[in-house]
Amino acid sequence: MDRWSRRGRGGRAVAAARRRRPRHHVRRRRDRPASRMSPGGHEPHPETGGDTDPLSAVHAHLEAFNAGDVERVVATFREDALFVAGDQVVVGHRALRAMFADAFAAPVEAQLTLNHVVVSGATAACELTETLEVEGSTHSLDVAAFYTAQRGQLVRVKVYRDLSDPQ
C-alpha cells in the first residue's frame, strides 16, 4: 500500500496532512536582514563571499581590453582564472598575460562593445560586438561571453564568436 492509497487517492487524510504542515518555511526568519541584496542590486552568491557585481568586473575588463593594456587586463582576473575561447583554454595570470600580449602585438586592432547584458548571481551573460581593424579594413564579429566574478575579479570567462560569413 503506498502513501496515497491509505484513505483513498486525494482523500481527506491527505488534505488534513497538508493543513498540519508547519509554515516556518514561508515566514522570514528574524535573525536575517529584510533585504539580502548587495548595494549593486545583485543577490549574494554563496561562492563569492557576498561581492557579486560581475558587471563592474566586466566593464573594467572591457575598458582595459579596449585600451590594449595587458597588465590592466590581467589584473581584472583572479590568479587562477579560466579563460576559454573556441578551442583555446587559458588558466592563470602567466598564461593570460602571454595570450593578451600576443593578441595586442598582432597587426589587428580589436575593440569590444557591450550591446546587452543579463546578470544572474555572479555571472554576466553578455552580447558584444568585436570590431577588428586589419590593414585599413574594418570587420565586425558577433560575440557572446559569459563572465563569472568573485570579489570583484573575473574567475571564469567563456567566449563564443560567430565566425560565419554574412549572407
CATH number of 54-161: 3.10.450.50
Query: Do residues 67 and 54 touch, judged by C-beta distance below 8 A?
Result: no
Q: Write down the pLDDT at residue 164.
A: 77
- On average, the pLDDT of the chain sits at 79
The larger pLDDT score, comparing residue 126 to residue 21, is at 126
What's the rounded mean pLDDT across residues 58-78?
97
pLDDT digits (tens, 9 = 90+) for 103-153: 999 899 999 999 999 999 999 999 999 999 998 899 999 999 999 999 999
Instruction: Quote the distance between the C-alpha of residue 140 and its chain's center.
Output: 23
Q: Other C-beta atoms within 10 Å of 60: how many? A: 18
pTM of the full structure: 0.68
